[in-house]
Structure 1
Amino acid sequence: MTKRIATALLLALALTPGLRADWKSELLSRLGRNPDYGAAWDYLVEEAKKLEPEDRQTAAVLLPFLAAKLGDKDKERDLAAEYFETYRDNDPDFGFLDVYTLRDFLAFWAPWKRSYPLVYDLNLLSYAKGPATGLPASVEVGFELLNEAFFRVSLGPYILEGGHWPRGFHILTIPLHGLFERSDTYEFILDLKSGDIISRKPIRVRVDIADMVAAPAAAPRDILSPESGTPIKAIQEGEISLYVDNKLILKSRKIVAKPTYFTFPLGGPLMPGQKPYLPPPKEDPMSRGVNILDALALAYKAIKDLVAKKPLPPSPPSYQKVSSLSFAYSRTTAEGLSVSARASVSLSPSRAVILKE
């Protein structure tokens, strides 16, 4: 008898998870035709912490919707921005929502997808085919913009650039003058405005200076020998004298040979178009006419060929998206030593936030 009771208890415990409703059903029980948004919010906030990644994305997109239904604008903006910065514009599965909730949610979410100025796929751009030497005045950052927006780029109190960007790929030039004094992180601010949404995206540029070694000393050079890379020119003209005890023993002179010019007479006046080495024409070529139709046909063909062979527009410069850039350069230390160093530039990850009104 005791064994039967124990077996029944174990079977009941095993079936309990299967009988328990999942989180979607629990959430729908608080929504529907007569929703209780407060209860749905409280339940989803706690349940989202225990969900798997796929379900966590579904919960993340529903939380700003519930915050909006509760009238909390700050939470709505923060949660919507967090969703876009984490999942971009990818939508999860909404198939479990009832028709009333789904209709309200789509009406809420559509304006966010049309207007949120998401910046993603941020990378440094490299145009060099070989190792870069010397410090650059700037670097270029490429990124994708989800929706069109007005923008402003600033560093501290200084505004560097501003204007309007359509959606798509863009290149932003980041000045680096004066940023190679030490290893540090510099934060450029990218403000974007789309509709009523103003987001702030920090672009953190990390500069690292390392591998500093003393430069090798220059080898001694004979002052009479020509400098390296200087082409040696042959002596065109000159004189060498050799004296021994103030007596001239040998003398040599080199003189450039001068070309000899000569002329030959030509015949009398030539007719237009006549070559001096050909027999004179039998008739004056200027007295002959050209067929007007042939001239028009030739001009038409020339214009047609010119239009057909219009040169193609120059192709944009090719680049590669990279995570960091390195530059080798030389500098003088405070002790007066010439050293070689390597500077690397990279981007630190950051998320945008929505500015409150």
Structure 2
Amino acid sequence: MTEIKKTRLVLLVMLGFFCLAVSARADWKSEINELLKNREYEPALNLLETTLSGLDQAEKQDALALLPFLYFKNNLPAEEKKALIDYFEEFGDAQPLLSFLDFSVFNQALEYWGRWREDFPLVSNLNFLLPASSEDRTIPGVLRLGFDLSADAYYKIQVEGNPLEGGLWTKGAHLIELPLPFYFDQSYSLNVDLYLKTRSITIRKRIVLELGIEKRNVKNRELLVQRQESPPIKNVEGEVAFYIGDTLIYKATKYLQKQIPVKVYIPPPNPPGTKPYLAPDKDQPYFRGVSILDAISAIAGAIKDWKKKPPAKMPASFVKRPEISFSFTSLENQEIRTDVSIKLRPVKAEPLPY
């Protein structure tokens, strides 16, 4: 056999295996459908697990939606919860189609997913919330984390393992307020853990706050803020610092002197009835009287206005930002400017056994 014939034979064999693999991937839906119609759940699960890695994105949603259903049918709760997290983390709250299933199987799968879409605590649309009136690169007073929750859930928040708050969240938009970290010497990260518990599942969703710190020299001294004729703040009454290991995270200082004294000249008041550089008014208001009818009318109008319902308070307007950036200059060393950027990095949720 010549080399050319050997090469052709190898190519034909490889092409045959490729065609078999393609046809197997194309027929996985019909094969699984037949197995499920016959209630052969374990072979259906084995077939789906071996086929899943070779599927394209168009078929992946149906496969990932069917996987937890098959774990449920095979009584594998731990694997079922992990598969549910995989689906919700990748496709959100989207309803799987599963249109290839037989009607008898489709009803069961539809009921299964309807229950989980109501009871899975999916955290989505995570952003920083900044007041719309705040200017760019303004140092925030607190860090506001806004997100949407897909189901009612009991919650607990921990920052680096330390409990912050807990309670019950209803389905909808929510807000977490965290104090702005005080440590800006070098880049680091903080772990914010959300523990969410519903009737059917408990998960931990970690949100990593990545703080990027960059220090640089400011060459133009004219741009620096100079405080003249103001003595430095002294008389420290107390100081509290929070460390994790050797890293300073938060720091609070209480001073006896709360404000920097500033000398401001306040001119004496103008003579009654006059304004600067204007002649005195001949008709002085404190020499005029008010008629009784005008007074009664004014009182009646005030009572009428008082009985009106107060206007509804407008909710605070916020803008969503995936990142916060600001800069500041230390009063002790004004030649050094610190640029700070804070980013959000959500981590894939993990199921908990309780």
AA aligned opposite 1:110: G
Q: Deviation of residue 217 (structure 1)?
A: 4.6
1:355 aligns to 2:352 (yes or no): yes
2:327 pairs with 1:328: yes
User: How far is the alpha carbon of 1:62 from its aligned partner?
Assistant: 0.4
Q: Does 2:172 match 1:168?
A: yes
Distance of aligned partners of 1:306 and 1:102 in 2 relative to their CA distance in 1, 3 Å threshold = same
- The letter of the residue matching 1:344 is S
Contact 1:179–1:207 (8 Å) recurs in 2: no
Deviation (angstroms), 1:212? 1.9
Aligned to 2:136: 131
Q: TM-score, normalised by structure 1?
A: 0.68
- In structure 2, what is the Cα distance between the partners aligned to 1:354 and 1:72? 14
Q: 1:20 to 1:191 in 2, by over 3 A?
A: closer
Q: 1:137 offset after TM fit, Å? A: 4.5
Give the letter for the 1:324 counterpart: E
Instruction: Evaluate the alpha carbon distance shift between residue 353 and residue 21 of structure 1 in structure 2; reply closer, same or farther with a 3 A threshold.
Output: closer
Counterparts of 2:309 and 2:93, CA distance in 1 = 42
Pick from 26, 31, 34 the counterpart of residue 31 of structure 2. 26
What is the Cα deviation at residue 277 of structure 1?
12
Deviation at 1:306, TM superposition (A): 5.9
Kindly state the Cα deviation for residue 57 of structure 1 after the two structures are TM-superposed.
0.3
Per-residue deviation, 1:322: 0.8
The aligned runs of 1:187-266 (5 Å cut-off) are 187-214=191-218, 216-217=220-221
Secondary structure of the residue that 2:167 maps to in structure 1?
Answer: strand
Q: For each residue in 1:167-225, what CA deviation from the matched residue of structure 2 results, as whole angstroms up to 9, or x when unmatched?
A: 11111112223343321111011111111311111011011111522465579x9x99x
SS of equivalent to 2:134: coil
Unaligned runs of 5+ residues in structure 1 are: 1-8, 237-274, 279-284
Alignment of 1:96-115 (within 5 A): 96-115=100-119
SS at 2:53 equivalent: helix
Contact 1:215 1:339 in 2 (8 A): no
Residue equivalent to 1:151: 155
Residues 190, 202 of structure 1: 8 Å contact kept? yes
AA of the residue aligned to 1:313: A
Structure 2: runs of 5 or more not aligned: 1-11, 230-261, 270-287
Q: TM-score, normalising length from structure 2? A: 0.68
Counterpart position of 1:344: 341
CA–CA distance in structure 2, aligned partners of residues 196 and 26 of structure 1: 31
Q: CA RMSD in A?
A: 4.1
State the number of aligned residues.
283
Over residues 16-71 of structure 1, what are the superposed CA-to-partner deviations in whole Å (9 max), with x where a residue is unaligned? 97899622112112120x22111111111121222221210000010011111111
Cα distance change of structure 1 residues 355 and 234 upon mapping to structure 2, 3 Å threshold: closer
Aligned residue for 2:336, secondary structure, equals strand
